[in-house]
Structure 1
Amino acid sequence: MRLHQPIALAALAAFSGSVGAAGCEPRNPDGIAAGDELIAWIQTAVHEFIPIEDSWSEGFDRAFSTDLVATFNVTMHNFGSLRGLFGAFHPKIVERYAGTFTHGYFSAIGVPHAANRGGNVYLTGWEGGYIGGDVNNVYNATQGSFGVIEEQEDCSLKIVEWRESSNLATTG
């Protein structure tokens, strides 16, 4: 019995270190519901930061941690460089699709953390619109994303890791 005591203490210390900030709303005890809440949060966040609306940058700042680690296709990014990349995408998307660009999901999976409202999310979806606004010239692309969401000390959720791949960037 004595042999197991250090392992139990180490496990308890590891678990207690992952508990969210004091005073934050507890994670939903129903794991499926907690995953659904995480999915709802990420889908709203993505809609707000995808660079198709003029307000995308405010959504970006709300969603991402300044300590972000990210990739977009084969390029590595931090908060500033991913924000810059999205900023470069915005005028190109607006011009190319004449305000018709949109996006949606094929699947979304939320895997909640055990101790707080954060977790991992997996998304697959589509994006596209009418080139030049011409309804006879539609272009759709597919994309996939993985994110790690962490509960912050102020109880907000932030994306701390983001991995995104899209074949939209391969079009001329």
Structure 2
Amino acid sequence: MKVKPVLILILILTLLSCNFSKKPEKLPKTEQYEKLIGKWKVINSNFLPFEHISYCEKLELNSIFEFNEYGELKIYKNRTEKRNCNGNQKFWIDKNEIIVFESDFGFPYEILKLTSDSLKIKTERIPKYLYERMTIQNAIEFTNEKIEFIKENGIIITLEKTKNVG
């Protein structure tokens, strides 16, 4: 397959117009962001394992949430994990919610408590693994006590800020 010179020129001009050296913008220096930025370890949850959208299935105690000053969120399954389990996600704070955004969708964590060393968040997200026994035949009436618990209470996750996670 031959590539037309016009297409090559368009590609070159597109690449030249991209500013690859541009640094991402930092989040505003508000009290909420100042408290949130850093690494947080999950120390309690009213439901385990819980899930974070985009490949972070069955998270447990000692999972790590890392919020950086550029609005990037990385989640690690435990303290020793070197690779984050979530995709390329951004976050921002909107009133009493942390909004997490990835590609073309976003979802909230309600902030129940945020101090310089304690974070308590709530999600209504029902983990996919709870639907493993669902079939086409029972889909309409499918439920179980775990799903009902989440529908009634949500999943409340308590985290503490860590100084050294390695």
TM-score range, shorter chain: under 0.3
- Give the greater-gyration-radius structure (CA): 2
**Structure 1 or 2: larger helix share?**
1
TM superposition score normalised by structure 2: 0.27
TM-score by length of 1: 0.26
